[in-house]
A and B are shown apart, each in its own frame.
Chain A
Amino acid sequence: MSDNLIIAGKTYKSRLLVGTGKYKDFTETRAALDASGAEIVTVAIRRTNLGQNPNEPSLLDAVPPSKFTYLPNTAGCYTADDAVRTLRLARELLDGHSLVKLEVLGDPQSLYPNVIETIAAAKTLVAEGFQVMVYTSDDPIVAKQLEDIGCVAIMPLASLIGSGMGILNPWNLQLVMERVKVPVIVDAGVGTASDAAIAMELGCDGVLMNTAIAGAKDPLLMASAMKKGVEAGREAYRAGRMPKKLYSASPSSPTAGIIASVRS
């Protein structure tokens, strides 16, 4: 039975979205992406290095946009204006590609989203025809506002970017999911495969991560683990877990036919 992720009308088999930063080289980046099974990959937009070697390898060669769906981000932007300009450049760079990841940060210590600037940028980008997947806090009211503006996916943090602290507030994620109809994708904070599984068991539509894979001792093995974690969590969510029953023991083996105790 097919169970695809649909974002802005496009169908994806994988519910794991991954970043392309922090790898040792482009060969490792590509190998990790392949091991993760991800179809959507985030990229950053940065100034070209003046005086760089023109034959320097390019991300676009290692991770061809014909094979992966690029999700250019606005990492490092602290104002709506910078984020909008960055994504206009991305659209020009990627031949009119309109699916983007908006993130407007509040401060460099926490990288916590500035939701005021995020909302302002989302309004402009949606009006300009971008399909905006938006990184935000796990505030259900803000999530709903971003959906109403026209964002195509809401991406709340599970914990701070790059922290690996896991799902700190599952209740808020549930509140977000109850309120919005577009896909909810946990973005940031996942540390290991069980974190990804928990996000999916909660009913999230996907998980986006970078450091959890790139920062593992063996990134390729962790990419494979994350793929399985996301798949396992999704299947468990769809299967519908048994209810938790404190003090209501129910043995798995028959209670009849147990051999008698030997009398002493």
Chain B
Amino acid sequence: MIKLSINGEEKQFPEPQAVAELIASMGLIGKRIALECNGEIVPRSQFATHLLQDGDTIEIVVAVGGG
């Protein structure tokens, strides 16, 4: 089991997975999002290859209304 913190919530997964798999499991495919892992941007071009490891802290953001 690996533990990931996603947007402040602890989630457990059976094994390390690529960012693309996580995005797919969250129903975010095709959505305009940006993703940061441990404070560093993971570019969209690396979603398929970037492997998430136990203890990673992930932020996934969107654009919302704001002033």
B6 within 8 Å of A by Cβ?
yes
List 7 A-B pairs, minimum CB-CB distance, nearest first: A44-B66, A210-B67, A19-B67, A93-B34, A92-B34, A20-B65, A47-B7
* Residues in chain A near residue B34, CB distance under 8 A: 45, 89-90, 92-93
Q: With A21-B67, A44-B66, A75-B67 in contact, do A50 and B26 touch (Cβ < 8 Å)?
A: yes
User: Number of B residues contacting the other chain (C-beta, 8 Å)?
Assistant: 26
Q: Is the CB of B41 within 8 A of A50?
A: no
* Stretch in A54-62, A141-149, A196-204, A218-226 touching the partner: A54-62
CB closest residue in chain B, given A19: B67
Q: With A58-B32, A60-B32 in contact, do A92 and B43 touch (Cβ < 8 Å)?
A: yes
Size category, A interface: 35 or more
Distance between Cα atoms of A75 and B39 in the complex (Å): 18
* Residues in chain B near residue A73, CB distance under 8 A: 66-67
Q: With A48-B28, A90-B34 in contact, do A21 and B65 touch (Cβ < 8 Å)?
A: yes
Q: With A88-B41, A89-B41, A93-B33 in contact, do A47 and B59 touch (Cβ < 8 Å)?
A: yes
A→B interface (CB under 8 Å): 19-23, 26, 29, 42-48, 50, 54, 58-60, 70, 72-73, 75, 85-86, 88-90, 92-94, 161-162, 209-211, 214
Name the distance in Å between B56's Cβ and chain A's nearest Cβ.
16
* Residues in chain A near residue B31, CB distance under 8 A: 48, 54, 58
